[in-house]
Amino acid sequence: MIPADVPVTIDRDDARRMAAEELAKPEYRAAEPSWFQRALSWLAHRVGELFSAISGVVPGGTLGLLVLLAVVVLVIVVVRLRVGKVARTVRGSREVFEARPRAAAEYRRAAEEAFAAGDIVAAVRERFRALVRGLEERGVLDTRSGRTADEAARDAGARLPAAREELVVAANLFDAVHYGGRPATAEDYARLAALDERVRRERPGVLA
């Protein structure tokens, strides 16, 4: 046993070892924050730094940043609602005829009148219906309700292989304009009208 009056000298290594032994005791380790708490603390610190940095360059400081964030959130919500609405519409019914079909000549007349009035969307819609109805009248397509534009293009393309690709393009145009809300152009209508005239002259082959 070392007498109490004898001075004890502890060097640096001994001090480090004694400190490590003390901190290794269970009561100290139980008081340490968990890895999850440390991670949350680190994330909160980084977000705070980012928030402070952005607020320093945005006009109005913190208030300006909050307004900017609110505008961004509003834009995201509006875009998602708009895209979701269009997507739901396009995924819904794509029937060519929503009511009892009329004669192809009536659809063509309605299309020309709409085009003359500047309503290109209606002109495209009615011209595609004229095309499909004309194919039904000629027997290229069987007459049935509920046919979609894609089905009309596929079935007609089997009988008119030379026009197959143009029929698919026309069906996609009809869906995009009538069901998807896409603007139509005069060039769209001219191409569709030319296809309508072309398939009226083509002789169908054997049904594939």
Could you list the pLDDT tens digit for every one of the 208 residues in the chain? 445 554 555 555 665 666 666 656 655 555 556 666 677 777 777 766 766 666 565 555 555 556 556 655 665 655 555 544 444 444 445 789 887 889 999 999 999 999 999 999 999 999 999 999 999 999 999 988 889 999 999 999 999 999 999 999 999 999 999 999 999 999 999 999 999 999 998 887 644 3
Instruction: Let me know: does 135 contact 200? Beta carbons within 8 Å.
Output: no
The per-residue DSSP string of 11-58 comes to: -HHHHHHHHHHHHTSHHHHHTSPPHHHHHHHHHHHHHHHHHHHHHHHS
The pair of structure tokens assigned to 40 is: 């949350």
Query: Which residues partner with 148 through β-bridges?
Result: 95
DSSP state of 175: I
**pTM above the 0.85 mark?**
no
